[in-house]
Chain A
Amino acid sequence: MNTLETGLSAVVDPVTLLCLLIGLLVGTLVGVFPGVTGSMAVALAAGFTLTLEPVQGLAVLLSIYVGANYGDRIPAILVNTPGTPAAIATTFDGYPMAKQGKAGLALVVSALASTVGILMSMVVFIVAAQPVAKLALNFGPPEMFALVVFGLTIMISISSKSIVKGLLAGAVGLTLGSIGRDPITGDQRFTFGLNDLSGGLDFIAVIIGLFGIAELFDQLLTHRAHKTKPISSLGRWWPTKKEYKQMRKPLALSTSIGIFVGIVPAAGGDIAGLIGWDRARAISKQKSKFGQGSIEGITAADGASSATLGGSLITTMALGIPGDSVMAVMIGSMIIWGLQPGPQLFTDNPDLVVSIAAIMIFATVVSLLISLVRMRGMVKLMDLPNYYIWSAILIFCLVGTYTVTNNMYTVIVMLVSGVIGLIMKRTGFPAGPVVLGLLLGPLAEANLRRALLIDGPAAFFTSPISLVMLILAVLALVVPIVAKARSARNGGGPGGSLEERLAQRTQREAASAGTDPK
């Protein structure tokens, strides 16, 4: 059997298909409940999938990723609350459409745009991932170190409200990654004589704590009993011929934007959705309708945010650097299965890459069908009381973590990470750089030491790839600082993270466009 056949036959295995359907169901539910994010769900599911075969486990995790991408649009359209951050831009036109009695149309347009976005991005993944991996195969220690630094600084620049806090979070992650045996000499570091620490901190326990428990604790801490009643009148479902035509241009533009944003390490659907919506408005002949229930607007927002999935996969699988926070969790799980994402994956396990692409495409098509058929039923799920969701998340976090090592020590690590994650969240420290630092710290250190040993510090500046990535890394930190300083000087306030600033800007522009008579 050739690679293609092997990869595809692993996916059509009945157990894998069952895993895929379970993942889709979980993912869609996760998307529907605001506050439960894709990263949280994938982190939680990672604990459960460790005993499965890699393809089966990937089927669960990837289909949660895809399913959440569809489910999160439902509350965005019906209650003006994005199910996950990736659906922020969906609210701009989705909710106004729902208020005009076109909720059904908004849900269908959103599902169609998401499907086209993901499928187009998967085409790019299939075409581009291998050449990128081939290029990355030539990377030596200086390039690998520079790549990790680049990925980390981009994540800090995107996710942090304060660059200093983001850098500190990254340094904490890298320090946590140095706990255990030294990667080259095997000397014990920060283990305090404890055997449990000599293998390092368990990655899955830390991410379940940071993404799952911290989020849950924060919701408990801040919950207020208010209820926005979902819009129940869905109206017509299918677009007219004219509306299909209206969707074409914004879809083409936003899909391209989404794929590009997805490739940038750490940038996800939230940022892509906002940029896609903004750019589609800029080229539209009906700018004033954006923010007021425009089909073009919702198409652009969902096309862009969904297209990040394929772009993100390219960065993750071909370079070994997570394309977004869900992919960081995915890398952690793959490492436990003995698979190292990165260029070697394409030479050592090419059939697995085929399986990944097939799972994503299959999950997307099934998600579209579920979205179109079961949308009415999902709307009712939004009435489920929070206490069911919270207690279920808590017990699944505990049991999922315990099963990683069958050791209560791992559960304690998870709970401590959760409390630290809560403190970080409440004090403005982003969790993403900690996770990325923990995940990539050993890789960064080993390559830095090898590069210095072989060629000395000059190695980083004589290699063009390494030099370019280090310059980009510096720019990633300097540009937001300069932009914030300029904004503060112009009276625009200190601003927040890139995502927040984009959201504020697009909301302001949409509102002023809505009041513009032209």
Chain B
Amino acid sequence: MTPSPSTLPGPDPTLGSKAQPSRWLEIAVAVTAVALTSTVLVLGRNIELRVEVPGMNPRSWPTFLGGLGLGLSLILLITAIVKSPQPRDDVEATTRSGWFKLLLTVAATIAFVVTWPLLGFLVTAPVFIAAATAIAGGRGIRQLLIYPVMVAGLIYALFNLLLRVPL
């Protein structure tokens, strides 16, 4: 008899919901892999050599890897088309708010990377930490003001004063 998940010991399997298998996702991944590995193969074959050397040259290894990758990608593509999609019970299902949080976090991170060299760490870091905390759900003065200033100050002190790395 196979016991039901609730009778199993170990981490609670009912927490969160698991991602659903998707044939289209598998096919899209395989097609992307075919495209990328083909590019590696072509680029590998076109590596410019300053001197011809006997045996394996600097082109051989990348070309071999590109060929190997292409072969594996084709197997992946055929498997994705022919067989039923693999279960994805090792990853949680995404949420709509999760996508929203992720995109906002990525945007905030890019903004931080762009503005840091222009305005300096001490100006941009507290704003960025406050933004990241707010996107993740933090609200209130302690979360959006005191905490960001403290963390930015701590990092600045750690690097500039202790490790002597300019930020």
Is there contact, CB below 8 Å, between A494 and B87? yes
Is there contact, CB below 8 Å, between B8 and A222? no
Is there contact, CB below 8 Å, between A402 and B167? yes
Q: B79 — which chain A residues lie within 8 A by C-beta?
A: 164
User: Does A340 lie at the interface of the complex (its beta carbon under 8 Å from any beta carbon of B)?
Assistant: no
User: Does B143 lie at the interface of the complex (its beta carbon under 8 Å from any beta carbon of A)?
Assistant: yes
Q: B82 — which chain A residues lie within 8 A by C-beta?
A: none
Q: A396 — which chain B residues lie within 8 A by C-beta?
A: 155
Q: Which of A370-414 contact B (CB under 8 A)?
A: 385-388, 390-392, 394-396, 398-399, 402-403, 406, 408, 411-412
Q: B25 — which chain A residues lie within 8 A by C-beta?
A: 427
Is there contact, CB below 8 Å, between A510 and B9? yes
Is there contact, CB below 8 Å, between B159 and A92? no
User: Does A248 lie at the interface of the complex (its beta carbon under 8 Å from any beta carbon of B)?
Assistant: no
Q: B145 — which chain A residues lie within 8 A by C-beta?
A: none
Q: A88-B10, A175-B65, A511-B3 are in contact. Are A221 and B94 (CB under 8 A)?
A: yes
Contact check: which of A81, A165, A220, A508 meets B11 at CB < 8 Å?
A81
Is there contact, CB below 8 Å, between B61 and A448? yes
Is there contact, CB below 8 Å, between B163 and A226? no
Q: B167 — which chain A residues lie within 8 A by C-beta?
A: 399, 402-403
User: Does A188 lie at the interface of the complex (its beta carbon under 8 Å from any beta carbon of B)?
Assistant: yes
Residue of B nearest to A93 (CB): B9
User: Does A224 lie at the interface of the complex (its beta carbon under 8 Å from any beta carbon of B)?
Assistant: yes
Q: A189-B58, A399-B155, A408-B117 are in contact. Are A221 and B99 (CB under 8 A)?
A: yes
Q: Interface on chain A toward B: helix, strand, loop, or mixed SS?
A: helix
Q: A149 — which chain B residues lie within 8 A by C-beta?
A: none
Is there contact, CB below 8 Å, between A386 and B12? no
Q: Which of B102-128 contact A (CB under 8 A)?
A: 102, 105-106, 109-110, 112-113, 116-117, 125, 128
Is there contact, CB below 8 Å, between B10 and A91? yes
Q: A403-B159, A403-B165 are in contact. Are A291 and B66 (CB under 8 A)?
A: no
User: Does B23 lie at the interface of the complex (its beta carbon under 8 Å from any beta carbon of A)?
Assistant: no
Residue of A nearest to B147 (CB): A388
Q: Which of A80, A228, A396 has the most chain B CB atoms inside 10 A of its CB?
A: A80
Q: B128 — which chain A residues lie within 8 A by C-beta?
A: 395
Is there contact, CB below 8 Å, between B62 and A190? yes
Q: Which of A501-518 contact B (CB under 8 A)?
A: 503, 506-508, 510-512, 514-515
Is there contact, CB below 8 Å, between A222 and B93? yes
User: Does A65 lie at the interface of the complex (its beta carbon under 8 Å from any beta carbon of B)?
Assistant: no
User: Does A174 lie at the interface of the complex (its beta carbon under 8 Å from any beta carbon of B)?
Assistant: yes
Is there contact, CB below 8 Å, between A82 and B98? no
Q: A175 — which chain B residues lie within 8 A by C-beta?
A: 40, 62, 65-66, 69
Residue of B nearest to A48 (CB): B163
User: Does A240 lie at the interface of the complex (its beta carbon under 8 Å from any beta carbon of B)?
Assistant: no
Interface 0/1 of B81-103, CB less than 8 Å to A: 00000111111111100110110
Q: Which of B35-70 contact A (CB under 8 A)?
A: 37, 40, 43-44, 47-51, 53-58, 60-62, 65-66, 68-69
| Cα distance A311–B27 in the bound complex, in angstroms | 40
Contact check: which of B86, B87, B101, B133 meets A220 at CB < 8 Å?
B101
Is there contact, CB below 8 Å, between B87 and A511? no
B109 shortest CB reach to chain A, Å: 7
User: Does A262 lie at the interface of the complex (its beta carbon under 8 Å from any beta carbon of B)?
Assistant: no
Interface 0/1 of B133-152, CB less than 8 Å to A: 10011100001000110011
Is there contact, CB below 8 Å, between B72 and A168? yes
User: Does A449 lie at the interface of the complex (its beta carbon under 8 Å from any beta carbon of B)?
Assistant: yes
Q: Which of A81, A161, A178, A514 has the most chain B CB atoms inside 10 A of its CB?
A: A178
Is there contact, CB below 8 Å, between B133 and A398? no
User: Does A26 lie at the interface of the complex (its beta carbon under 8 Å from any beta carbon of B)?
Assistant: no
3 pairs of A and B residues whose beta carbons are closest in the complex: A387-B136, A222-B92, A182-B58
* Sample (29) of A-B pairs whose CB atoms are under 8 Å apart: A80-B12, A88-B10, A92-B9, A96-B9, A168-B33, A168-B76, A171-B69, A178-B61, A184-B58, A185-B51, A217-B106, A218-B91, A221-B102, A226-B15, A385-B137, A386-B136, A387-B137, A388-B147, A390-B132, A395-B132, A398-B112, A399-B155, A403-B159, A408-B116, A415-B113, A449-B61, A506-B10, A507-B9, A512-B3
Other A-B pairs beyond A184-B53, A399-B155, A510-B9, 9, CB < 8 Å: A51-B165, A164-B76, A171-B37, A171-B65, A185-B50, A187-B58, A221-B101, A403-B165, A494-B86
